[in-house]
Structure 1
């Protein structure tokens, strides 16, 4: 297909496609003449992945480029590729000089030991969690950390679901891409589901028991969501 058709099928404007090619995010098309190139379904798939990571996942283009380069490196074992991809997708814990960071890292190490998880506290996920713990305390919500084990147990169940999805992929490209998509878009999906669950939980706790409340499906939940719960 030509670039105009690729644009129509992917929903990405032609100038943006050309920019992605220049930046190395999208492979160049196959030249059919000095001024024409041909593109295939692989280009469309890559464009859809880039837009999903950018628009839904919120990753900057530089990070997307890093992830795509790792995905395309056939010299690395799949396990190593997945580890590098996860590192690119995990936010840092913040300023290394923060005095609270050391204590937070110890808390993360203790959590990993309690859960029996073999990831190290210095792993990307461990560092991200330590940064979150510091931020919670600075915001005056250190008590929220008491829920850490419950959150970890829920996360473990979600991880098992993620792993089941990934295990259905056989080809290396599909396997790596599914982990990247699951990490970025799975985070966005879980966040949206959590907000919906908050609305329902709030409705049950504060609306359904109110004298004279209309408990018909959708009524109280709509009020709670409109209030930003």
Structure 2
């Protein structure tokens, strides 16, 4: 659907985006949607920037599974992009919700980082999350060997190279930040689906 260029009331914003009025009002209360331009004490008008914001928030909630706190952090990062593309990546990683990132980094994760020569912060949320995920896998009876973990990591390097190629091709820091943050959330399900398709293909070839 094309972006409307004329001001609209909240009911029209709801019709344009497919998001109910009560949900839009919730977004407004939570600060996820910027206020419209007041035309009276009880009315406001909304424009194309509101349509874009609503569609972004909806995508993060419905497809990315991001909670309100995570969306607030993402929007804050998008509104204040750093000049350095590397700093941009760091801000994006800390803004993104990472389940299981509140524990310590395990020895096997530290050993992996050292073995691969990766430049990863000792307190990176993803390193802590990986430690928790590996422990959970072991508890479920699915041990990930050091060799398997290493191979997974090498495969992820290739994925990361694609991610960075796309982000660094952006014309400005704001666009790059949007690409990294939103792209990471929205592309994660794509990678999961591709992994399962690849499993089926490899299994077929080996059978």
Q: TM-score, length-normalised on structure 2?
A: 0.85
Higher relative contact order (CA 8 A, sep 6+): 2
Distance in 2 between residues matched to 1:139 and 1:166, nearest whole Å: 36
Bigger radius of gyration among the two: 1
Is residue 21–residue 28 contact of structure 1 (8 Å, CA) maintained in 2? yes
The correspondence for 2:30, drawn from 13, 16, 23, is 23
Quote the offset at 1:81 in angstroms. 5.0
Q: In the superposition, relative to structure 1, how do residues 54 and 13 fare at CA in structure 2: closer, same or farther (>3 Å)? A: same
Please say if residues 100 and 133 of structure 2, whose CA atoms lie closer than 8 Å, have aligned partners that are also in contact. no
Q: Indicate conservation of the 8 Å contact 1:66/1:88, yes or no.
A: yes
RMSD of the alignment, in Å?
Answer: 2.1
Which position in structure 1 is the counterpart of 2:4? none
Residue 66 (structure 2) pairs with residue 59 (structure 1): yes
Unaligned runs of 5+ in 2: 1-6
Distance apart, 1:77 and its partner CA: 5.0
The aligned counterpart of 2:133 is: 132
**What's the TM-score once normalised by structure 1's chain length?**
0.77
User: 1:85: which partner in 2?
Assistant: 92
Give how far 1:148 is off: 0.8
Number of residue pairs matched by the alignment: 198
CA 1:65/1:143 → structure 2, altered by over 3 Å: closer, same or farther? Answer: closer
Q: 3-state DSSP class of the match of 2:39? A: strand
Tell me if 1:68 matches 2:71: no
Give SS of 2:38's match: strand
What do residues 138-189 of structure 1 show as CA deviations (whole Å, max 9, x unaligned)?
1112145531111111111111111111122223322211111122112111
Q: Note if contact 2:27-2:33 (Cα within 8 Å) is conserved in structure 1.
A: yes
**Is the Cα contact below 8 Å between 2:77 and 2:95 reproduced in 1?**
no
